[in-house]
Structure 1
Amino acid sequence: MKRKFIAAVVGALVAPLLTVVLPAGTASAHGWIVSPSSRQDQCKRGVVACGDIKYEPQSVEGPKGLRNCHGNVGRFAELSNDGKAWQVQNVSPVQTFTWNLTVRHRTSTWEYFIGGTRVWSQNDNGAQPAATVTHNVNLGSFRGRQKLLAIWNISDTANAFYACVDVNIR
C-alpha cells in the first residue's frame, strides 16, 4: 500500500516536469493569407461568423488542382459560400499579398487566380519559405469586385493550401 502511494506521488510530481522538458510535437498547421485579409483570416478575427475554421485558419489543405476556397475540406465548406458577409478589401492592380506560415513546407509553386484565369504564379523549385511570405501580384486587367483564389502548392506531397480573398481592384 505504501509503495503504491509513493509511486503515485512521484508520478504526480514528475509529470508536470516532463511536459516542460520534453520537446513539443509537430503542429498540424500550415498557412493562410493575412493581408489583405483572406476569408479564413476574417473568420479567425471574428469579422465574419464562422465554424471550425476560426480556430484553424492555417488548415485549408487539399489535393492539388482544386479551384475552391475550402480545399474540399467539408468542415470548412463555408469558405466557398459567396453569400456570407465577407469583407471586401480595396486593392491596387499590383497588390502585395502576405502569407503567415505556421509550418514551412517546401514549395513547388504559388498561384493566384481570378475566376478561371491564373493571374500570377511563381516557381520556388522546392525551396523552404520563410515564416512570412509576400508576393507582389499583378492582377492584370481585372477591376472591381473579384474573388481571388491563392494556392500554395507543396513540393513533397500531393497537397496544396488554399485561401480566398474578396477584393475590389481599383
Structure 2
Amino acid sequence: MRVRISTVLVGLAALGLPLAFAGTAQGHGYTNSPPSRAALCNQGVVTGCGEIQWEPQSVEGPKGFPAAGPADGRICAGGNTRFAQLDDPRGGGWPTTPLTSGQTFDFTWRISAAHATTSFRYYITRNGWDPTQPLTRAALEPAPFLHVPYNGARPGTTVTHRGTVPAGKTGRHLILAVWDIADTGNAFYSCSDVRF
C-alpha cells in the first residue's frame, strides 16, 4: 500500500510540475484593438509566426523608447529575437484594420498580468514610410499621438484608451503602442497595421 501511494504521489508531482511552470511567462499584455501582429498570430489569422503564436503577451523589451529601448528594425518584437517574425514586414502584407483619418478610436489592451504602470503611449508612422521595411524610429512621427499617464497604478485585464487618430493620414500605416512599466526596466511593445 505504501509503495502504491508513493507511486501515485510521484506521478501527480510529475504531472503538476509542468503546470506549475506553465503560468510563469515573463510577458503580460498586447493590443487587440486594433489587433496587433502578435494577436493576429495568436488567432491564426497570420501563420509562420514562431513562438509568438503561443505568447502574444510576451513582447517585452527595454523601456525608454524612443531615446532607448529596442534597436531600429527590432521594435515590433521589443528587441526580443524569439519574436523576430513580428519585425518582418512580409512585403507590406500584414492584414490591416480600416481607420478613418481624424476619427475617434478605442485602443484596447488585453493584459494577463498587471504591472505598476508609468503610461501607455501610441505612435504612428509618417506619411510616405515604407511598409516593406522593418520599423525604425525615423519612420514614426516623433511624438505619440496619444499618451495616457498611469502614475504607478495597475491596469485591469482589459484596458481601453479613447483617442483621436491623427488627421491627414492616407494608405497603409503602422501604430506602435508602448506600455511603460513603473517598477521594472522594461516596457511592452505592440505593433498594429492599419489602413486609412
Q: TM-score, normalised by structure 2?
A: 0.75
Question: How far is the alpha carbon of 1:142 from its aligned partner?
Answer: 4.3
Equivalent in 78, 84, 97 of residue 89 of structure 1: 97
Structure 1 residue aligned with 2:61: 62
Residue aligned with 2:150, SS: strand
Structure 2 residue aligned with 1:112: 122
- C-alpha RMSD over aligned residues: 2.3
Q: For residues 19 and 166 of structure 1, do their structure 2 counterparts lie closer, same or farther at Cα, with a shift above 3 Å needed?
A: same
**Which protein has the bigger strand share?**
1
Distance in 2 (alpha carbons) for counterparts of 1:142 and 1:158: 35
Distance in 2 (alpha carbons) for counterparts of 1:72 and 1:17: 36
1:10-36, Cα deviation, whole Å (9 max, x unpaired): 22333538978xx95653240111122
Distance in 1 (alpha carbons) for counterparts of 2:36 and 2:6: 46
* Equivalent residues in 2 for 1:43-58, closer than 5 Å: 43-49=41-47, 50-58=49-57
1:133-153, Cα deviation, whole Å (9 max, x unpaired): 011122222422210000000
Equivalent in 153, 158, 163 of residue 185 of structure 2: 158
Distance in 2 (alpha carbons) for counterparts of 1:63 and 1:43: 23
Distance in 2 (alpha carbons) for counterparts of 1:42 and 1:86: 9
Q: Which moved more, 1:37-46 or 1:60-69?
A: 60-69
Q: Aligned letter for 2:190? A: A
Q: For residues 19 and 125 of structure 1, do their structure 2 counterparts lie closer, same or farther at Cα, with a shift above 3 Å needed?
A: farther
| Identity across the alignment (%) | 36
Structure 2 residue aligned with 1:130: 156
Q: For residues 14 and 142 of structure 1, do their structure 2 counterparts lie closer, same or farther at Cα, with a shift above 3 Å needed?
A: farther
Structure 1 residue aligned with 2:194: 167
Distance in 2 (alpha carbons) for counterparts of 1:62 and 1:146: 23
Residue aligned with 1:13, SS: helix
Gaps of 5+ in 2: 126-139
Structure 2 residue aligned with 1:103: 113
Gaps of 5+ in 1: none
Q: TM-score, normalised by structure 1?
A: 0.85
Aligned length: 162
Distance in 2 (alpha carbons) for counterparts of 1:36 and 1:143: 16
> Is the 1:27–1:103 contact (alpha carbons within 8 Å) kept by the matching residues of 2?
no
> Is the 1:150–1:164 contact (alpha carbons within 8 Å) kept by the matching residues of 2?
yes
Distance in 2 (alpha carbons) for counterparts of 1:142 and 1:106: 35
